[in-house]
Amino acid sequence: MTTCSLSFPPQINLAKLPTPMQPLHRLSERYGVELYVKRDDLSGIALSGNKIRKLEFVLADALAQKTDTVITCGGAQSNHCRATAIAAAMLGINCRLILRTPDPSNPPPLEGNILLDRMAGAEIVWITPDEYKQRDEFMAREAATLQTSGRKAYTIPMGASNALGALGYIRAMEELVNDIANSLGGGNRPCTIINAVGSGGTSAGLILGAKLFDVRARIAGVNVSDDRAYFVRAIGDICEQAIADYHLDVEFSRQGDVEIIDGYVGEGYGLSKDEELDLICDVARTEGIFLDPVYTGKAFFGMIQELKRNPKCFGEQIIFLHTGGIFGLFPKADQLRPLLEIR
């Protein structure tokens, strides 16, 4: 197996690894490609999804700094925030979540990830979308306030998407080397790896990991918020910071290496069109795999739309990275009901 020269910093073991690679036989036949899913939704149960790989490095750093409280941010049904809250409970430290909602005086109901956040003991601070634009400054103020009361706070960026967090998916590429060799017909065959992009850290890790482990993979992200320009910049920043921080011997170009498939944000972040939810139901019925409405459902929908336009646009073999988020389905029950013909 190809190895890389990176000496990884300390990490804690949170995820159940390696996660399996699963072929999608019926969907592959339908769309005329070899389609596989990397099941990172199976990296745990409540503590599951792609965020755990990043948190293994980020929380190791937090513990090394004698932190007693972690602060992070996200949307109301943030998978990252739920994973952080549960991991913090496992590690015996406090967690404060800065969550975005249109009206903080009337927060969303206690369901899905919010329910799990609360059950794990997280403190939730609700802020408006405008306040969320200054989320890093907001978290810094929260940390300073805790500091004055004698507590030691550690802030984690949205999605744990920084150079340190990206190491989680650089290391995941080591798994994918084996998956590609064992599932895609042996050898280092060319393929396309598609993932949902919400903050950019997973994409950054995959891009750098493919270079470091010499994987012949095209990394394509489907953005679920913002636009292509935003994520070329965000992912580029993370990649360049990781290259500098960890002295990675790779060549990187924002325009050449960061591929964003734009146009599938739909109604907006966390908002679902019926055609997206219909596809989620179709995948569940056809392959027994449950996508989530915020991230993987939009990304899978975008991938399928692109395949319908051009069946060869991603080559013959596609790996879809399932980043978890099943708990986000439950708040969509009323919208799903007519699609399932439930009376």
Q: Which residues are catalytic?
A: 78
Cα gap 270→294, rounded to integer Å? 5
Long-range contact set of residues 129-137: C-beta below 8 Å, sequence gap at least 24 = 129/100, 129/102, 132/73, 132/98, 132/100, 135/73, 135/98
Copy the structure tokens of residue 252: 């990187």
Cα gap 87→324, rounded to integer Å? 16
Beta strands 34-39 and 69-75 are unpaired
Beta strands 34-39 and 217-223 are unpaired
Copy the structure tokens of residue 293: 């409405």
Listed in order, strand segments (DSSP E) in the chain are 21-23, 34-39, 69-75, 94-100, 123-127, 153-155, 191-197, 217-223, 259-261, 317-322
Cα gap 235→206, rounded to integer Å? 11
